[in-house]
Chains A and B, each alone.
Chain A
């Protein structure tokens, strides 16, 4: 069956460092992948999308890579700030004209001053 794995343990880093979160998947060939941020008591908020034919995507301090051979996406936050502390979810999308997403369980990031 399709499976998405994100680090279940929280990632603790120091302010100013680069945070790297991992999303691995099996038994699936997504046409694209999205990353979302979720704060406590709130719904997920879309951050970035990367398609299967793209290796890397950037937006301000965020960078996403997508390796369809390794079946893995990496999500980087450079110059991290305490305000970046949240849970980050990856979501895989199917091709074919509909917007169904399958979400990973998320990784909690804590950035310490």
Chain B
């Protein structure tokens, strides 16, 4: 089975540009999570969805960040306008089941560099 697929793997862009990160979760999974990982702050949860509905976006740093999940097989995380402090690795993860302890399956991330 294919795992969580993220694109692009690397993104380098200039400050002020719009950045869109994409994620395809594992088929059948009903939870989708967006994380950001930096050396200073570790792995931080930004937002997560259940059945395509945003449940908790309290980790989204500011209004420049937005996330959507138009269907069960696709999600985007958008940063507009981007700033150098947004440079990080962004991970998408998915999980299944109604239980609250299911393992999360991570993609290999998008390494974002804002110049």
A20 to B17, CA, bound (A): 45
Give 1 or 0 for each of A12-47: 1 = CB within 8 Å of chain B CB.
000000000000000000011010000001111110
CB <8 Å contact, B104 and A49: no
Q: Which residues of B contact A (CB under 8 A)?
A: 4, 31, 33, 35, 42-45, 48, 50, 55-56, 91, 93, 95, 98-109
Known: A100-B45, A100-B56, A106-B42. A46 touches B104 (CB 8 A): yes
* Interface of B (DSSP majority class): strand
A-B contact count (CB 8 A): 66
Residues of chain A at the chain B interface (Cβ within 8 Å): 31-32, 34, 41-46, 49, 51, 89, 93-106
**19 A-B residue pairs with CB within 8 Å:** A32-B100, A32-B101, A41-B108, A42-B109, A43-B91, A43-B93, A43-B107, A44-B91, A45-B106, A46-B104, A49-B101, A96-B100, A98-B55, A98-B56, A99-B33, A100-B45, A102-B45, A103-B44, A105-B42
